[in-house]
Amino acid sequence: MASRLRGGGSALPGLVAERVDPGFLAHALSRVSDGIVVVSGTNGKTTTTKMLVAVLRAHGRTVFTNPTGSNFTRGVISSMLGELPLHGRLRADLAVLELDEAHALKFAATVKPTHALLLNVARDQLDRFAEIDHTAGLLASLAEQTTQGVVLNLDDSFISRIRDRVASGVSVTWFGVDESIADRLPELQEQDVRFEDDFTPPTAGPDDGLLKPHDERSFSILFGENGSAAVGPLELQQRGLAAMINATAATTTARSLLGTCFDPRVAAEALAAVTPPFGRGEVVMVDGQPLELVLVKNPAGFTVALGTYGSTPVATMVAINDNYADGRDVSWLYDVSFESLRDRGVSVTSGVRGYDMALRLSYDDVTVDAVETDLDRALDAFLARHPDEPKRIFCTYTAMMALRRTLAARYDLPDIGEEAK
Is 329 considered catalytic here?
Answer: yes
Strands annotated E in 209-304: 209-213, 218-222, 231-235, 280-286, 289-295
Q: How far apart are CA 16 and CA 75, in angstroms?
A: 11
Task: Check if the beta carbon of residue 182 is closer than 8 Å to that of residue 188.
Answer: no
Question: C-alpha 122: how far from its chain's center?
Answer: 13
Catalytic, out of 164, 329, 380, 415: 329
Output the CA–CA distances (angstroms, integers) from residue 149 to 121, 125, 183, 256, 294, in the order listed: 20, 31, 29, 8, 32
What are the start-end ranges of the H helices in 21-90?
A: 24-28, 45-58, 73-81
Length of the chain: 421
Query: CA 163, 74, 419, 218: dihedral to nearest 10 degrees?
Result: -10
First vs last Cα of the chain: how many Å apart? 23
Q: Which residues are annotated as catalytic?
A: 329
